Structure 1
Amino acid sequence: MAKANTFNHTESKLESLSLLFPKDEMLICFSNGENDSLQYSIITKYHKNLFKRDSLSNYIEETITYKNKSIIKSKLNNNTFYSTVIDSMFFASSSKKIVDDAFLNSDTTIELEKIYNTISKDKSLSIIIESENKFIKSFFIEDSISFNNFSNYLAIDTDISQDEILINGITKAKDSSKSLINIFKNNIPQENQIQNITPSNSDGFMSFTFSDYNLFKTNLKKFNRKDSIVSSTLFDNITEVGVIYEDEKHAVILNSIDVIATKDALLSELSTIDSYRQIDIFNFSEPDLFSNTFFPLITSNNATKYCVLDNFFVFADNLEMLQNIIANYQNKTTLSEQSYFKDIKENLSDESSLLTIVNPSILKTILNKNLQDNSNYNLNKYNASALQFIYDTNFAHVNGIIKKAKTRGYQNSISEVFNIKLDADLLNQPQFVTNHITKQKEIVVQDVNNRLYLISNKGKVLWKKQLQGAVIGNIEQIDIYKNGRLQLAFATPNRVYVIDRNGKDVAPFPAKFNDKITQPLSVFDYDKKKNYRLLITQGKNVLMYDVKAKIVNGFTFKSANKNILTQPNHFRMSGKDYLTFKTEDKLYILDRTGKNRVIPKTSNRFSNQSVYLYKNKFTTTTQNGNLVTIDTRGNTSIQNLRLSNDHHLQTTSKTLVTLTDNKLGIKNRTIELDFGNYTHPKIFYLNDKIYVSVTDLQSQKIHLYDSQAKPIVNFPVYGNSLIDLDNVDKDRNLEFVTKGDSNSIILYQMN
């Protein structure tokens, strides 16, 4: 705050404090003078060494008399102030009139004295604020809630340290209908839960609770001086109402203790207008219901849509805001999950009548609104600040905290970078490809109309291209001109495409095939010299082409004994190349020319799982779930892994992962997942760490584990397909992409 204009102005005004050396507590009072100028008064116990000014060359004083009482007029630099001693109390003020009035012996109001007696004597700073002041406008986002109509007095004790300000105290209003705090009278504060649905990327929220809605409504009616308030059964089973703020947008939240009854109250509002992540979004025909019922706590009157998330009923006008709330709730990236919120929650009560949580930009807005200041001070590290009121008999407890977030506040969270909709439903799962110009990642995906999209890591669609058929398997990247520029290479059932980064075909591709291509395109670069070989599988046959779309005559393999079940793979060990694929009863291990390099010494009935190189052995599975390993001499070993017929396998050179039914095996550890419909597992090796992902398509949850089979923090998250995991930009955080709704893709970031 030291950079704030208001702070600097006040510090200058209080320059006279440098002359005082009190032994007791000191009161500093602020008031409005002429032309709304700031006036101050100082009260403390007098002692002979209190006022030290002898050594100050820029200090001038003179003694004046008022009603036979001595008053010292002092000037320090450009600041003039007046002081006197009354009954052993030292009194000073920037206003002579205030010092004159101090001799009038006016009694302190009983109410103010009671408030003063509540403050703590051992705190570094205590503050009493009267409602009818011109300095404090409001503590809330809503301008409709002013301090002037909120309460009569606020008395708080503060603990101030380098990284936080803690506030505890009380606020009290006279027993009348003129103060907003009294609308909570005779209601028991309930547990605040709006943070459990507030997105972490929102500006904040306000929550108010009640144990008896009818009593609350009666109190609010008196405050608003209305003969009646709109009656609605929608609020009969509600104990908490909240507002979530996002830029200029608002969402109203109802927390229900009887979801069925609250849904019944909305039976006439079941016109579905959209669906997002399998959550129906309905039209709402009473957009001004909440502002008419809860003014001035709620002023928004445009709640035209709503959805239901467990016990929360969410109303808003903006569809994207509703989708953002749904996404963060399902992803568990709400405010309540953030460590910086958990830090400040330790200083708050679980139950309160009124609670507001704001982010740094809103905190700055509120401060500037009160201080009438537009200074450019930095609050960016104060991720969440809170103020709560807990009504008790005829006053309310006040707790507040402004705290700088610790660095760990951002660690381990998962945030949604973007969620974009395509022109049609997705045909396959999105994957990352490399932008050779920026060295960052972009996303390719195809829709059901066979349009291929290239999308930047910021969510911008760079181009769309119509293809003849569906892409088979993953898209590869090659440098066909050996100049550092990368192209996309892949197969559809009757084409092999090579496409540059602008979405243009690279001649002589696409290459057309009459017979159907049955496995993904395999790209081999034997010597890492960009002399690419493109392997095309058609039933029993494997054809090898060069980048000019010409058959490579040196590859002599003609035909397998049966239809090939797996994409051809290339491995290199001890300077030798091995090409592998299999049929249902034969595993082929060939050399570059297509001749047998290794002949397994036993035959098996093979599954459709790929062939991997695991611990320097060719590894795959049989139809009945046994693990088959073959060394370079053809020696075969079979291990019973107790896998079902419907199983999945993937390995790296040292890590073996299996999935059978709901059991995920990582190395020698097994995780029992909830029953569901799971994709095959994928292994990622990034930043010297193994990650294993699997997605339950039934519950739409993405799971992620490390090499020790321990779940990654904050997973599972929402998703509808396999993921691709990588670092897509220049920061250190990993991102992953997945299918969201049927026509959308989601990019997440792991913080």
Structure 2
Amino acid sequence: MRFFCFALLILTFSCSNPKTDRTKPIHFIPENASVVLKTSNIESLKSAIQNNDVIKKLSKTNSYKNLESKLESLSLLHPKGELFICFSKENNDSLQYSIITKYHKNLFKTDSLPNYIEETLVSKNKSITKSTLNNNTFYSTITDSMFIASSSKKIIDAAFLNTRKNTELEKIYNTTDKDQSLSFIIKNENEFIKSLFIEDSISFENFSNYFAIDANVSQDEILINGITKATDSTKSLINIFKDNIPQENHIQNITPSNSDGFMSFTFNDFNAFEANLSKFNKKDSIASTTLFDNITEIGTIYEDEKRAVILNSIDVIATKDALLSELNIIDTYRQIEIFGFSKPNLFSNTFYPLIAFNDATKYCVIDNFFVFADNLEMLQNIIANYQNKTTLSAQSYFKNIKANLSDQSSLLMVVNSSILKTILDRNIEGNSNYKLNKYKASALQFIYDTHFAHVNGVIKKAKTRSYQNSISEEFNIKLDTDLLTNPQFVTNHITKQKEIVVQDVNNRLYLISNKGKILWKKQLQGPVLGDIEQIDIYKNGRLQLVFATPNRVYVIDRNGKDVAPFPKKFSDKITQPLAVFDYDKKKNYRLLVTQNKRVFMYNVSAKIVNGFTFKAASKTIVTQPKHFRMGGKDYLTFKTEDKLYILDRTGKTRVKPKTPNTFSNESVYLHKNKFTTTTKNGNLVSIDTRGNTAIQNLNLSNNHHLQATSKTLVTLTDNQLTIKSRTIELDFGNYTAPLIFYLNDKIYVSVTDLQSQKTYLFDSQAKPISNFPVYGNSPIELNNIDKDRNLEFVVKGESNAIILYQIN
């Protein structure tokens, strides 16, 4: 390992070309790469792949397993910036990959990998490293401060020789979101993607030249948006929409909910559209017909092998006039006349490859829709669903994906789970018997603009209907390793919504969005003590995380970066969670660090506050310091085993309890304007501002818990939970300390039985909330984390998993 690091340092200087203008990873993309994956956050990408439901299903396929095996070398990399993964096929049709990222000294880590072997080679007078990990060989080098690794030695050799930048590729790349955890650049010269559509007639190769796509991958959905661009106006299908304005799609309003889906394309000028399509097909324009003169949208409805063509007319009378020679009534269904049609090949001749269906022998008119099909039963099914208002547009799962689409499209395809699987199978080799039944509607949309088209895509699991008071699981994500701390909510100061923060057993801190996406993870020096607080250190509305580990105090911004001068290091051990005080609500924060008997007060410059005079307690402090404000005065409290300290903000004694006690390790609360806690033997102790002490026997055991607010007192002893003097007898188990939440003018109390893995929730009258208990393995945090009124709570699931529930 030492030799490898030394070799990399030598290469950093010896292999750089001072004359080159290649300064970005995109400049080193191999010329024959047909798919380029870019990530700005490799950890977020790994988590998304690990937790996404569709990807987990595809992980059973041979193609996925083969790709996963080839990319095993990614586990060795720890990039700090963008990372590119490029795929190509060489002459022998074998899949080749390349990895490109900015080099830094801690990028490549091979420690503790028994199956890793490396050797140094010289190729074209340059040094490269040949590495083998679990029988997979790859090559790597450094040039112009870029680290490049590939399964192909030819690609590494070419990295030194090709110093020209691909300006067209860079323009496409610049359209992607620099902060997105996953983006794709896809060329049409592509051996991996055959077609994205139901119809085989629409090939990926002839559709466009470049795709630049950002992907947002969460547990139950994949959302994509980006652009596609065709450089040749006549050889790419997307350019048939040139000189036309996308129109609003309406085909969903007549598509039966029991169909396989539909495809719709729109135009505002049929003549321009038809002329572009004829150029693409390299044939003369179709003979003049007035049928399409008042049509703005044409679509195909799919039902097994059957097809129906839909014309959406803006002038029904004029379109009917164009069909005056086609009024041969062959049937009537639900008072809708069905006519024969004598030009079954008209649509395929006019709109190929968008429509390959050439058996349109019947048609009917339903409001402004003209429906053509060969199968009578299919026409009847369309009529029945339209009249019964059971079309696709009325379904909740369609409305759910429609929120991620534009109302106007040049081309729109919506498919059910069966067709989605068919399309995926067409592009993936060695498929297994995975099921996508819950993906009832998925969509792909193109919106033509000047010289390019916007792209939107949605693959989203349909939510089961939420009934009032039901509990729905919003996501369940797994981290790399087991959790060390309980998940808690923090505020995103940009969206004003909540996100989740948690630490794993390797002391890595994670920030996770309320959609289950890992935003970042950060290595800490030790476990977080207690809860993480938030402060506005710059007084500009931007919030930072603040907390202590046994030897450091951290302040971290929302991007996971340390805020100077933190972290502050301590040689002596910190023994209680960090206490954060903002006395006057003016963001002049005080950070209290507890070290056994001593308490130190710091400001946000990590400097000792000289005005705080408290030096040390008589014994070890057993609780986190707390701040209360009552009657215009500040009170700082903490306990040792035999003394309750109640100080003013300078550290001087403000209240001296008149009665000594042997205290428990339970926190101090301000309840009914009295400082309230418990003794070791379970008595309730209340102390007023004059030091008068009242002791109440609550029949608590030595192993008890206390939680209190100004008006609500909750205790737990053995299996007895008491809320405002009302006692509930729970099943025997191993319960976490009770927690009180005050939300939407209502009190909630929660406990979790770690033995039975059940989380309970009660109201202030000690009545259980409907549909509890639910599965959980830690205390919960309850809050409203998004823009709706429903409450959510986060809890530990399996040892390495976080579950977010919603109370409907």
Quickly name the TM-score band, shorter chain normalised: 0.5 to 0.7
The alpha-carbon distance between structure 1 residues 350 and 409, as it changes in their structure 2 partners (threshold 3 A), is farther
* Pick aligned residue for 2:138 from 72, 75, 81: 81
Deviation string, structure 1 residues 337-357 (Cα, Å, up to 9, x no partner): 000000000000000100000
The alpha-carbon distance between structure 1 residues 306 and 376, as it changes in their structure 2 partners (threshold 3 A), is same
1:242 aligns with 2:299: yes
1:161 aligns with 2:218: yes
**3-state SS, counterpart of residue 329 of structure 1:** helix
Task: Kindly provide the amino acid, as one letter, of the partner of residue 68 in structure 1.
Answer: N
How many angstroms does 1:55 deviate by? Answer: 1.5
| Distance in 1 (alpha carbons) for counterparts of 2:299 and 2:145 | 52
Task: Kindly provide the amino acid, as one letter, of the partner of residue 200 in structure 1.
Answer: S
**Aligned partners of 1:127 and 1:157 also within 8 Å:** yes
Equivalences for residues 138-537 of structure 1 within 5 A: 138-408=195-465
Deviation string, structure 1 residues 312-352 (Cα, Å, up to 9, x no partner): 00000000000000000000000000000000000000001
| Distance in 2 (alpha carbons) for counterparts of 1:7 and 1:377 | 13
**3-state SS, counterpart of residue 74 of structure 1:** strand
How many angstroms does 1:186 deviate by? Answer: 1.1
Task: Please give the root-mean-square deviation of Cα atoms over the aligned residues, in Å.
Answer: 1.3
* Pick aligned residue for 2:172 from 111, 115, 128: 115
Equivalences for residues 31-70 of structure 1 within 5 A: 31-70=88-127
How many angstroms does 1:54 deviate by? Answer: 2.7
How many angstroms does 1:373 deviate by? Answer: 3.8
Whose radius of gyration is greater, 1 or 2?
1
Deviation string, structure 1 residues 200-249 (Cα, Å, up to 9, x no partner): 00001000000100000010011001022232110000000000000000
| Distance in 2 (alpha carbons) for counterparts of 1:230 and 1:408 | 51
How many angstroms does 1:33 deviate by? Answer: 2.6
**3-state SS, counterpart of residue 268 of structure 1:** coil
**3-state SS, counterpart of residue 323 of structure 1:** helix
Task: Kindly provide the amino acid, as one letter, of the partner of residue 86 in structure 2.
Answer: C
How many angstroms does 1:38 deviate by? Answer: 1.2
34-43 vs 282-291, which deviates more? 34-43
How many angstroms does 1:175 deviate by? Answer: 3.8
Task: Kindly provide the amino acid, as one letter, of the partner of residue 95 in structure 1.
Answer: S
Task: Kindly provide the amino acid, as one letter, of the partner of residue 310 in structure 1.
Answer: D
Task: Kindly provide the amino acid, as one letter, of the partner of residue 272 in structure 2.
Answer: L
How many angstroms does 1:410 deviate by? Answer: 12
**3-state SS, counterpart of residue 35 of structure 1:** coil
| Distance in 2 (alpha carbons) for counterparts of 1:299 and 1:129 | 26
Task: Kindly provide the amino acid, as one letter, of the partner of residue 199 in structure 1.
Answer: P
The alpha-carbon distance between structure 1 residues 7 and 239, as it changes in their structure 2 partners (threshold 3 A), is same
**3-state SS, counterpart of residue 200 of structure 1:** coil
Partner of 1:12: 69
**Aligned partners of 1:192 and 1:351 also within 8 Å:** yes
How many angstroms does 1:372 deviate by? Answer: 2.9
| Distance in 1 (alpha carbons) for counterparts of 2:415 and 2:117 | 47
**Aligned partners of 1:339 and 1:410 also within 8 Å:** no
| Distance in 2 (alpha carbons) for counterparts of 1:67 and 1:409 | 64
Q: How many residues align?
A: 411
| Distance in 2 (alpha carbons) for counterparts of 1:76 and 1:274 | 69
Task: Kindly provide the amino acid, as one letter, of the partner of residue 235 in structure 2.
Answer: K
**Aligned partners of 1:175 and 1:394 also within 8 Å:** no
How many angstroms does 1:409 deviate by? Answer: 8.8
46-55 vs 352-361, which deviates more? 46-55
| Distance in 2 (alpha carbons) for counterparts of 1:225 and 1:8 | 42
**Aligned partners of 1:340 and 1:409 also within 8 Å:** no
**Unpaired runs of at least 5, structure 2:** 1-57, 469-808
**Aligned partners of 1:230 and 1:293 also within 8 Å:** no
How many angstroms does 1:160 deviate by? Answer: 0.4
Partner of 1:539: none
**Aligned partners of 1:230 and 1:292 also within 8 Å:** no
The alpha-carbon distance between structure 1 residues 391 and 313, as it changes in their structure 2 partners (threshold 3 A), is same
**3-state SS, counterpart of residue 325 of structure 2:** helix
How many angstroms does 1:122 deviate by? Answer: 1.0
How many angstroms does 1:24 deviate by? Answer: 0.7
**Aligned partners of 2:310 and 2:372 also within 8 Å:** yes
**3-state SS, counterpart of residue 377 of structure 2:** helix
| Distance in 1 (alpha carbons) for counterparts of 2:430 and 2:188 | 20
Equivalences for residues 570-609 of structure 1 within 5 A: none
How many angstroms does 1:107 deviate by? Answer: 1.7
| Distance in 1 (alpha carbons) for counterparts of 2:333 and 2:296 | 27
| Distance in 2 (alpha carbons) for counterparts of 1:213 and 1:228 | 12
| Distance in 1 (alpha carbons) for counterparts of 2:204 and 2:308 | 24
**3-state SS, counterpart of residue 92 of structure 2:** helix
How many angstroms does 1:34 deviate by? Answer: 4.1
Deviation string, structure 1 residues 570-602 (Cα, Å, up to 9, x no partner): xxxxxxxxxxxxxxxxxxxxxxxxxxxxxxxxx
How many angstroms does 1:8 deviate by? Answer: 1.6
| Distance in 2 (alpha carbons) for counterparts of 1:30 and 1:145 | 23
TM-score (norm 1): 0.54
Deviation string, structure 1 residues 233-267 (Cα, Å, up to 9, x no partner): 10000000000000000000000000000000000
How many angstroms does 1:390 deviate by? Answer: 0.2
TM-score (norm 2): 0.50
| Distance in 2 (alpha carbons) for counterparts of 1:276 and 1:265 | 23
| Distance in 2 (alpha carbons) for counterparts of 1:244 and 1:57 | 56
**Aligned partners of 1:355 and 1:386 also within 8 Å:** yes
| Distance in 2 (alpha carbons) for counterparts of 1:144 and 1:112 | 28
**Aligned partners of 1:338 and 1:409 also within 8 Å:** no
How many angstroms does 1:4 deviate by? Answer: 2.4
Task: Kindly provide the amino acid, as one letter, of the partner of residue 329 in structure 2.
Answer: T
Task: Kindly provide the amino acid, as one letter, of the partner of residue 415 in structure 2.
Answer: V
The alpha-carbon distance between structure 1 residues 225 and 203, as it changes in their structure 2 partners (threshold 3 A), is same
How many angstroms does 1:377 deviate by? Answer: 1.7
| Distance in 2 (alpha carbons) for counterparts of 1:372 and 1:3 | 11
**Aligned partners of 2:62 and 2:429 also within 8 Å:** no
Task: Kindly provide the amino acid, as one letter, of the partner of residue 280 in structure 1.
Answer: E
1:93 aligns with 2:147: no
How many angstroms does 1:305 deviate by? Answer: 0.2
| Distance in 2 (alpha carbons) for counterparts of 1:79 and 1:300 | 47
Deviation string, structure 1 residues 475-526 (Cα, Å, up to 9, x no partner): xxxxxxxxxxxxxxxxxxxxxxxxxxxxxxxxxxxxxxxxxxxxxxxxxxxx
1:127 aligns with 2:164: no
**3-state SS, counterpart of residue 205 of structure 2:** helix
| Distance in 2 (alpha carbons) for counterparts of 1:380 and 1:391 | 32
**Aligned partners of 2:444 and 2:455 also within 8 Å:** yes
